[in-house]
Structure 1
Amino acid sequence: MIEQWVDTLNGYLWNDILIYVLIGCGIWFSLRLKGIQFTRFIHMFSVLKMSTQSSSQGISSFQALCTTLAARVGTGNLMGVAVAISLGGAGAVFWMWVIAFLGMATAFVESALAQLYKEKGENGEFRGGPAYYMRKGLNSKAMAITFSLCLFFGYGFVFSAVQANSIAQAFQGSFGFEPLHTGIVITIVATAIILGGLRQIARFAEITVPFMGLAYVLVVGAVLIINIEHVPAIFYSIIASAFGLEEVVGGVFGAALQGIKRGLYSNEAGMGSSPNAAAAAVPYPPHPVSQGFIQMLAVFFDTIVICSCTAFVILLAKGSVNSAEGIQLTQQALALQVGDWGREFISFAILVFGFTSIVANFAYADNNLKYIKLDHFIGRWFLRIGFLVMLVIGSQATLTQVIALADLSVAMMTLVNVTAIILLTKAIVYITRDYDKQLASGHIPTFGVDRQKELELGLTEGIWSKRDKS
């Protein structure tokens, strides 16, 4: 009965509301910011080159990028793409690309706002996120609490269960390991990392994410080179299926629905998750907009690069692995191209991608304890215990149950966050123009405001003052 209720609510939220909200939000900010994901595409790589500075107050922008990629690059890239293609056909990949390019503008906005409205914690470290810009920028305590509850449920319990499920299924398919045993091992290792806080999580992500991401792209790149004659047909299939020129299960709407759902779940643009890490960074150039560029880049890497790699491998194997689903479809598709070691490689990739997502998810949930009155000893241990228990439960749950709960969590978070960032359009346009003006004049963009502007925007006193441009 609960499963039916969740499915019904998901159908209403996704089919009738979220598709239009997400596309509309991406178009709105693409227009208001003059196509920033295209006009500043090269510039965001320039910002990345200067992203390794950190301090006692915050992690580096590169660590923030790796932390958000750790959360983004997980089961959505290896398992979610397989689900999208199985349910929506090859056309789902096209709609994943669309939502990614639109989502780059959305990701820019939410992360720049998180930097703008950040504050300092008890130990002087930066912290922030959607709940903070809802409370400060919109003066809406109710919205901040609602978002924090949604994020606490999603990232504190559900999303990591999805990651644990995919890791367990991959290792069962490759090595015959019992899912329960895999779940217990994941839980033990996760415990050691999450107790170290955001800095330890960021250091872990900084090492693992670039290594595994590059390895995955290189392997798939080699497969595509070997099968270069089939690549044009794959692109045709994606475009044709997306616009109904090929018959697929669910038709054009089914392809769009699955592509958008899995695209959002993978790149997280608009969900309000990555701003939690973005706010903790020490940006360079010292301007909140620079962190927007870093997180815009994260969406590009996640969906346009890594998700596309998975999609191409699966579509190369079209018709040969129809009996598989989820992560095992990705495993079998790669094994068909490179041999049996492809299954083990995917198992290792999903272990690294999924596990880094797990620890990053915890950091997001922990960052929002303040707004649900759990930022104390008992509250933190409640989160830790519940989070770890769900890893064990998730490793044994069925794929459909886990995905349904994840979709519901994504929908609730996204609706609240997108509403907030649209209401804060004036603030994001102001800081983006300020950045562009300084860049055009040949200066390193540096954000600083007087007390009157602090009050007008609702900023934390002293964070961006002209006296202390931190």
Structure 2
Amino acid sequence: MESLVEAIETFEGLAWDYFGVWLIIGIALYLSIRTGLVQIRRLPAMFSSITEKTQRDDEGRSKSLSAFQAFTISAAARVGTGNVAGVAGAIAIGGPGAIFWMWVMSIFVASASFIESTLGQLYKTPRFDTFKGGPAYYIQRGLGSRTLGIVFAIIFIFCFALSFTSLQANTIVDAVTSAADTAGAQDTGWLSWVLGIVLALMTAAIVLGGLRRVATVAQNLVPLMAAIYLLLGLTVVAVNIDELPRVFGQIFDEAFAFSWESLFGGAFGAMLMAGVQRGMFSNEAGMGSVPNVAATADVSHPVKQGLTQTLGVYVDTLIICSITAFIILFTFEDPVAFADANVGAELTQSALAENFGTFGPIALAIIIFLLAFTSVLGNYSYGEANVLFINGSERVRKAYALVLTVVVFIGSIIDVDLAWAIAGVTMVIIATFNLIVITILGGKAVKLLKHYDAERRQGLDPVFVSEDLPELGDVECWSREDVAGYLSNRERRGMGTGMGTGKGTGDTGGSSLEEPGR
């Protein structure tokens, strides 16, 4: 078994170092240029997009998830143990300079998140009281190949919904067990079984209720989770505030400590690779995961969800990942000496113990519980979209929910080194697959962005109707009737009639819309 794990890990390392990372960098730069740096240019609009309310039917029920609910579900999956262990591992591998390159790449790779989430919205399809969509759907509708869509969906279900769910459950058990050991508990071997049963029951109670129940839990837990971790990180910074010049000096000095010797010796490359790879593992931009949730939101324009999910990249990397980096760097002057890449979480735990004593590991265990459990819920939502793409039966969805619950229990009690290795390889495959697809389909998202920008220049709250851009092809959910509430709301607010097709002047149906938060 150990030799199999080592072989897979070796292949994973080669795939990332010699292909995956450079593909990510190249496509991120290309999409940034093609979108006119939308991830920077439209930063203010991201905050207004996230607060937009959904259309409501005659009974007052929302048409689907709100932009904020979709944002919190994606954040639940993004913000996981990678933000704790992954960042620490990046520092251990590449030094403090890796954090700078993680920041830089998050800005550029955010363009990929914008493209994939916009496409997810464009090609979404209705399902009961919500929508579904994602890469499998825009592969089928945009590229015209259901076979390729099914291949992507199968790989994705195995990687995110199963392998990564198992890893998150295992991480919860490890964190709680370590905290119990630190607190002086005796004989904690039984704890993993108890935690496994509790986690499985908690997961089943939520996921069997469907995506709306997942959204309700996520929109309450994610802000709490982020607030607790932010408070912890700011406390470490405040206690060690005199170290502020040293920490930023380390980050920037090592980030630009370039020399031909470091280049050919591999030091600079290791730092760059660590920043790019660990950053993408954390924020998932371009991985094809977030579009599965982005498609569930009811918004007036596909670009709005693209902008919302782009903001999610910044929250994950520039805020949450930075907290972990500061906890470590403000505590240890030379963090590489304290851990290797495989025990990054222990480095964070050691830093917290230095600042808070035994309370530190206990607090981290609580935080990791929240991080990992919400990631389980987020991964469920990712997998659900792909399961339903293959077979739309409600019975199949519930069977998938039950399987995922079992995986949570199994992941709590077993060693998952092999699952880590396999998941790492499949992530390279998924990233490559999705990045190539969104590069091919990127022109459609750019047309939507131009439509959005044109309406903004007219002083309009952008609303997209499929007849505006008929060349986009097999679009299902963007007829005038589908966005009637947004059109009537815009008309009531005296915001004009729209572009080209005379939007706002036709039949608006019986839908109503809550006032968008602006």
Q: Give the TM-score taking structure 2 as reference length.
A: 0.84
CA deviations over 1:131-151 (Å, ceiling 9, x no partner) = 111100111223211210111
Number of the residue aligned with 1:312? 326
Compare 254-263 and 198-207 and name the one that shifted more. Answer: 254-263
1: distance between equivalents of 2:258 and 2:358? 35
The Cα shift of 1:90 comes to 1.7
What one-letter code is carried by the residue in structure 1 that aligns with 2:346? Answer: Q
Equivalent residue, structure 1, for 2:473: 458
Equivalent in 24, 27, 33 of residue 25 of structure 1: 27
C-alpha distance in 2, partners of 1:443/1:287?
Answer: 12
Per the alignment, do residues 66 and 52 of structure 1 end up closer, same or farther by CA in structure 2, a change over 3 Å counting?
farther
Give the conservation status (yes or no) of the 8 Å contact 1:67–1:205: yes
Note if contact 1:81-1:262 (Cα within 8 Å) is conserved in structure 2. Answer: yes
Of residues 419, 424, 428 in structure 1, which corresponds to 2:441? 424
Q: Does 1:241 align with 2:257?
A: no
> 1:204 matched to which residue of 2?
217
- What letter matches 1:48 in structure 2? I
Which residue type is aligned with residue 204 of structure 1?
V
Structure-1 residue corresponding to 2:11? 9
Alignment gaps of 5+ in structure 1: none
Matched with 1:175 is: 180
1:132: which partner in 2?
Answer: 137
Question: Aligned equivalents of 1:200 and 1:385: distance in 2?
Answer: 15
Structure 1 residues 51, 92: closer, same or farther in 2, change over 3 A? farther
**CA, structure 1 residues 124+168, in 2 after alignment: closer, same or farther (shift >3 Å)?**
closer
| Equivalent residue number for residue 162 of structure 2 | 157
Q: Aligned match of 1:288 in 282, 287, 302?
A: 302
Contact 2:52 2:66 in 1 (8 A): no
Distance 2:347 2:80 in 1: 15
Native 8 Å contact 2:221 2:370 kept in 1:
yes
- Among 237, 242, 248, the alignment partner of 1:224 is 237
Contact residue 52 and residue 62 of structure 1 kept, 8 A = no
**1:289 CA displacement:** 0.3
How far 1:233 sits from its partner (Å)?
Answer: 1.4
Write the mapping of 1:302-341 to structure 2, written as runs, cut at 5 A. Answer: 302-318=316-332, 319=334, 322=338, 325-341=343-359
Shift in Å at residue 99 of structure 1?
2.2
Using the size of structure 1 for normalisation, the TM-score is 0.92
> What whole-Å deviation, never above 9, does each CA across 1:143-188 have from its counterpart, x for those lacking one?
2112101111112211112211221111111113433432332122
Give the count of matched residue pairs: 463
Residue by residue, what CA displacement relative to the aligned partner does 1:176-213 show, whole Å, maximum 9, x if unpaired?
Answer: 34334323321221111111110000000000101110
Please say which structure displays the higher CA radius of gyration: 2
Q: Is the 8 A contact 1:53 1:61 kept in 2?
A: no
The reply to whether residue 120 of structure 1 matches residue 126 of structure 2 is yes
Alignment RMSD, CA only?
2.4
Query: SS where residue 120 of structure 1 aligns?
Result: strand
The answer on whether the counterparts of 1:170 and 1:328 sit within 8 Å (CA) in structure 2 is no
Q: Secondary structure at the match of 2:338?
A: coil
The one-letter code of the counterpart of 2:204 is: T
CA distance in 1: counterparts of 2:412 and 2:74, whole angstroms: 23
| Deviation of 1:390 (Å) | 2.7
1:105 aligns with 2:120: no
Indicate if the aligned counterparts of 1:162 and 1:406 stay in contact, CA closer than 8 A.
no
- Kept in 2: contact 1:156–1:383 (CA 8 A): no
Q: 1:351 aligns with which of 366, 369, 373?
A: 369
Q: Which residue of 1 aligns with 2:385?
A: 367
Shift of 1:261: 1.9
Query: 3-state SS of the aligned residue for 2:243?
Result: helix
AA aligned to 1:231 is L
Determine if the alignment matches structure 1 residue 441 to structure 2 residue 458: yes
| Higher mean C-alpha deviation, range 274-283 or range 95-104 | 95-104
Bigger shift: residues 377-386 or 266-275: 377-386
Q: Aligned with 1:424: secondary structure?
A: helix
Report 1:257-276 matches (<5 A): 257-276=273-292
| CA deviation profile, 1:341-370 (whole Å, cap 9, x unmatched) | 121111111111110110111111111113
- Residue identity opposite 2:331 in structure 1: A
Cα distance, 1:400 vs. partner?
A: 4.7
| Deviation string, structure 1 residues 279-314 (Cα, Å, up to 9, x no partner) | 01011xx11100011101111001110000001111
Q: Give percent identity, aligned residues only.
A: 36
One-letter amino acid of the structure 1 residue matched with residue 101 of structure 2: W
Cα distance change of structure 1 residues 130 and 332 upon mapping to structure 2, 3 Å threshold? same
| Runs of 5+ consecutive residues of structure 2 not aligned to the other structure | 182-187, 485-518
Which piece of structure 1 moves more, 429-438 or 172-181?
Answer: 172-181
- The C-alpha deviation readout for 1:370-404, integer Å capped at 9, x for no partner, is 3434x446644553344233323333455754432
* Displacement after TM superposition at 1:241 (Å): 2.9
